Structure 1
Amino acid sequence: MKRAEIFINQHYQIATVDRRIFGSFIEHLGRAVYGGIYQKGNPNSDEHGFRKDTLNLVRELRVPIVRYPGGNFVSGFSWEDSVGPKDRRPAKIDLAWQAIETNQFGLNEFTEWSDKAGCDIMMAVNLGTKGPQDAKNLLEYCNFVGGTDYSDLRRAHGYAKPHDIKLWCLGNEMDGSWQIGHKTAREYGRLASNTAQIMKSLDQTIETVVCGSSGLTMPTFGEWEYQVLDECYDEVDYISLHLYLANRNNDTTDFLAGSQCMDDYISGVASICDAVKAKKHRKKEIELSFDEWNVWYHSEEQDEQIRPWSEAPHQLEDVYNFEDALLVGSMLITLLRHADRVKIACLAQLVNAIAPIMTSDTRAWRQTIFYPYLHASTYGRGTVLLTQTNAPRYESRTYGTVSVLDSVCIWDQAAQSLTIFAVNKDLNDDVEITCDLRQFCGYRVKEHLVLACNDMKAINTETAPNTVRPIRSHASRVEESVLRGILGKHSWNVIRLERYADKR
């Protein structure tokens, strides 16, 4: 059996976790909205058409914030089409995904759904085919109390109380040639600056997210971030990062090393932000919004067969397997390890389209990636401790030498609890871990949850929804202030410890 050590010190703290790091994403794409969160007339839907079974799973995940309505969709979106009486809303062509958008679910319905789901909203504005004036109008509609053109329009639509949306994305992936209205870095940076200035003149309480590169492999990566921030540094609060990973070569060991790519990406963008900060002699720090991340590749061949210009097609419906869940777990660990800079993150997406939740007309079920997301969102709130590991390493084809162990520790001092998230990426061997807990006197193992499966390609389906699910392990204990545990080969682990009072 291989051995590894985890080192923590309660005085070496990275940051308090911003709960928005466990956010997600709903775009008007495929069946994410229609058939996912909304399906009028379905037996599982409530009087508003909201899928109750989906809502229950979203609440189970404790999703704190949801990005909406895109994504690529937003760059051609006219928000006015999605509000007001439904019988007057026009069906429109969605150029981004070559589909028909009926607009039967829109902005106001999403605010109602978010309230039921217990989520805040991260709203995106169209900077592809529209600009600052339209963004101001949308903000006025959402956040202004009344007495103006657009705030009174909202009230006329039956929403007297403002939606009070605090977080706003300034477009989406504006560096991408696929994006409607894509721009150069200087063009977009100036546009983002003007848009943010106008929006914050109307509502000084909002925060704005500027578009970073669409991915680490973009040819303009780095240069894009620098030039955009050079134009709008003083007007924005966050810069976005997007990353999707894939196992197209069916190389599991290399695939599971992919979290190293995310780690490098975060460090690189943070460095660029700080370079612009230094150039401008500012005290303000730009934080990171990793507002699209996931595994995405399973549905590519299927999507090529989709007939264009249909309504809510079965699009981007990746069926996730067990190895995907392991990588998603490692990516969550990576986000937490960078909690000092990553304040917002959105697993893309939430339902049906590259999502942890799938639906049919009769039920909703949890995909394999649901579980690490659930565990991190539930138990990953507190203070991230600087977590060092001494573990065996292996050579990956793409990412070089990486550790078999990904791990991070979260300490909730008020609750006197300590949670260790860990992924053993070794495909053949268990790993025995030790962790010195002398600074956490009286802490004992409350629970050890494990997601493991012998079949790396195992999936959860409508007829077999529990093929991959977590179990409780008894392989961890504290002896003489040392945590000792066994992490099974290729497994996701959550070791929860709590302090027990001395009963003597």
Structure 2
Amino acid sequence: MQVKATLHRDFTIADIDDRLYSAFIEHMGRAIYTGIYEPGHPSADARGFRQDVLELVRDLKIPAVRYPGGNFVSAYDWKDGIGPKENRPVRLDLAWRSKETNQVGINEFAWWAEQAGLEMILAVNLGSGNLQDAREFAEYVNHASGTYWSDLRRSHGVEDPYNVKMWCLGNEMDGPWQIGHKDAREYGRLADETSKALKGLDPSIETIVCGSSSDEMPTYPEWEREVLDACYENVDYISLHKYFGNNSNNSLNFFAKTEATGRYIQAVSSIIDFTKAKKRARNDVYICFDEWNVWYHRRSEDDAKIRQWDWPEAPELLEETYNFEDALFVGCLLNEFIRRSDRVKIACIAQLVNVIAPIRADKGGPAWRQTIYWPYQFASLYGRGQALQVVTSGPTYDCEVADDVPYLDIAATRDKDTITLFVINRHPTETMDLDVALTGYTADRVLLHQCLEGHDLKATNSGTTPDKVSPSAGKHLGIEDEHLKGRLNPLSYHAIRIAVH
């Protein structure tokens, strides 16, 4: 099968916001405790943070991390996690029916994020909490000195403010499962006033209002319309969440769910545009896709387990073991974010360690990269600069979730004198003959070609076989007369970098 594609120097989509490759970590299961933080672990530093996990996080070069939740934040009092550790209360976490020891709070997490080279995206509690709680949290975190909350932070050993610029106004407030769930009008008004208060503290703060928990919610998309109608002029982003699975064991249908995600992004973008026009607003609101990942392998099992257990501390929860099929899907989804980077400016893989995560870490044992780590890392490392328009012609297929789905999924970026192509051959059996015209460019050579291929779709990594699914140097691609040409094996992922001028 042959696929032809064309890039043109003058046809771009948008400048990619580096935060498109951000992450999310929540006080949930073993994400924090025995994930990033495990005093007594052989790799732990003096503060109790695992250095083996930290190195895997650093290697991703992700720009920002959303914290502390998630459903957790809707009943969380940030004040429980400050001051001397021995004085911190143990609380019941209503979201995940477990005990929270509060041994990691904002100051410990901020220190870890700095070591990892990450900015923080902080979420405020607008479930059981209120505007005043959010204002005090922001003052503790961001104000220099001379006030009660800023001086309290300084008394806790943190002289300089963190200057956090990105703030989530609650989490999934459309969900009836959420502590403090509100209807769209009620939430929109609260988000509007909270955003105004945070920006009153620092006008450079960016706020993220809750959109729908998924496009399958019965209130979607009316929720987005009502919420934005209440707060459009005072917020910067609206969040989207979506998780994916292959419960029907149909790989082609699974891969095509990225096409449906594109429709989700397009629909919310249309609501943003309508609201801006209705209000004659001057500001733009963009999309923050701040929860996304594959989540289905253990979902039903864990839902039942939560209902039965008796408030354990840092329980094993949502520890998906990802396979090669999941890695191919994640590559396709990241391509969709690149193609929609004119509207999607921030996206956060959910989550970062242990809980539906690209990194796994055994308690007292090793840490390793899951299969999905690799396409996520390649996108983060190389998917910067400008997103390029790619026009393709090749074979397609129809399935339950979409029609005319290309077997070959392609996204492209340009950063100075380098073009990067991310290409996934979704066909289960056929090799694709690729011909990409690099119009307007003089192509010098292929700088890098890394691929994931040749694995059974159900192949996984583990603590004992951490590299079973890992990248290898690609073959069969080269430059010929300003064209990239070559063969791509079935069910394969490719990151290709080309020097141009």
Give distance in 1, aligned partners of 2:301 and 2:464.
21
Give distance in 2, aligned partners of 1:445 and 1:236.
43
- One-letter code of the match for 1:60? D
| Partner residue, 1:450 | 451
How far did 1:399 drift? 2.3
For residues 340-419 of structure 1, what are the structure 2 equivalents within 5 Å? 340-360=342-362, 361-413=364-416, 416-419=417-420
What's the secondary structure of 1:310's corresponding residue?
coil
Give distance in 2, aligned partners of 1:308 and 1:252.
37
2:320 to 318, 321, 330: 318
Give distance in 1, aligned partners of 2:82 and 2:88.
7
Give distance in 2, aligned partners of 1:369 and 1:432.
25
The answer as to whether partners of 2:7 and 2:439 remain within 8 angstroms in 1 is: no
What's the secondary structure of 1:459's corresponding residue?
coil
The answer as to whether partners of 2:9 and 2:439 remain within 8 angstroms in 1 is: no
- One-letter code of the match for 1:417? T
The answer as to whether partners of 1:239 and 1:286 remain within 8 angstroms in 2 is: yes
The answer as to whether partners of 2:260 and 2:401 remain within 8 angstroms in 1 is: no
How far did 1:301 drift? 4.0
Give the unaligned 5+ runs of structure 2.
Answer: none
How far did 1:308 drift? 3.5
* Superposed CA offset, 1:189-240 (max 9, x none): 0000010111111111211000000001111111100100000011100000
For residues 66-85 of structure 1, what are the structure 2 equivalents within 5 Å? 66-85=65-84
| Partner residue, 1:426 | 427
Give distance in 1, aligned partners of 2:431 and 2:288.
35
* Superposed CA offset, 1:417-468 (max 9, x none): 1100011110010111101124211431122111113310000011111111
- One-letter code of the match for 1:10? R
The answer as to whether partners of 1:244 and 1:293 remain within 8 angstroms in 2 is: yes
| Partner residue, 1:90 | 89
Give distance in 2, aligned partners of 1:95 and 1:453.
44
- One-letter code of the match for 2:185? R
Single out whichever of 429-438 and 418-427 deviates more from structure 2.
Answer: 429-438
What's the secondary structure of 1:421's corresponding residue?
strand
For residues 11-90 of structure 1, what are the structure 2 equivalents within 5 Å? 11-90=10-89
- One-letter code of the match for 1:211? C
* Superposed CA offset, 1:334-358 (max 9, x none): 0011111111000000000000000
Give distance in 2, aligned partners of 1:169 and 1:185.
16
How far did 1:283 drift? 2.4
- One-letter code of the match for 1:305? K
* Superposed CA offset, 1:3-29 (max 9, x none): 101111111111111110000001001
Give distance in 2, aligned partners of 1:314 and 1:302.
12
How far did 1:469 drift? 0.6
Give distance in 2, aligned partners of 1:378 and 1:392.
30
How far did 1:387 drift? 1.2
How far did 1:85 drift? 0.2
The answer as to whether partners of 2:24 and 2:350 remain within 8 angstroms in 1 is: yes
How far did 1:81 drift? 0.1
- How many residues are treated as equivalent by the alignment? 497
* Superposed CA offset, 1:351-377 (max 9, x none): 000000000122110000000000000
- One-letter code of the match for 2:30? R
Give distance in 1, aligned partners of 2:284 and 2:78.
32
Question: Which runs of structure 1 show a deviation greater than 3 angstroms over 4 or more consecutive aligned residues?
Answer: none
| Partner residue, 2:337 | 335
The answer as to whether partners of 2:31 and 2:355 remain within 8 angstroms in 1 is: yes
- One-letter code of the match for 2:224? E
What's the secondary structure of 2:305's corresponding residue?
coil
- One-letter code of the match for 1:262? T
The answer as to whether partners of 1:476 and 1:484 remain within 8 angstroms in 2 is: yes
| Partner residue, 1:168 | 167
| Partner residue, 2:192 | 193
What's the secondary structure of 1:267's corresponding residue?
helix
Give distance in 1, aligned partners of 2:291 and 2:443.
40
Give distance in 1, aligned partners of 2:137 and 2:340.
33
Give distance in 2, aligned partners of 1:342 and 1:110.
26
Give distance in 2, aligned partners of 1:444 and 1:6.
18
| Partner residue, 2:242 | 243
- One-letter code of the match for 2:373? F
The answer as to whether partners of 1:30 and 1:353 remain within 8 angstroms in 2 is: yes
Give distance in 2, aligned partners of 1:398 and 1:441.
39
Give distance in 1, aligned partners of 2:486 and 2:498.
12
* Superposed CA offset, 1:51-75 (max 9, x none): 1001100000001100000000000
Give distance in 2, aligned partners of 1:388 and 1:177.
42
| Partner residue, 1:309 | 311
Q: CA RMSD in A?
A: 1.0
Give distance in 2, aligned partners of 1:305 and 1:219.
26
- One-letter code of the match for 1:472? A
- One-letter code of the match for 1:392? P
| Partner residue, 2:216 | 217
The answer as to whether partners of 1:453 and 1:468 remain within 8 angstroms in 2 is: no
Give the unaligned 5+ runs of structure 1.
Answer: none
How far did 1:396 drift? 1.2
The answer as to whether partners of 1:44 and 1:363 remain within 8 angstroms in 2 is: no
- One-letter code of the match for 1:376? A
| Partner residue, 1:273 | 272
The answer as to whether partners of 1:322 and 1:453 remain within 8 angstroms in 2 is: no
What's the secondary structure of 1:373's corresponding residue?
helix
- One-letter code of the match for 1:383? Q
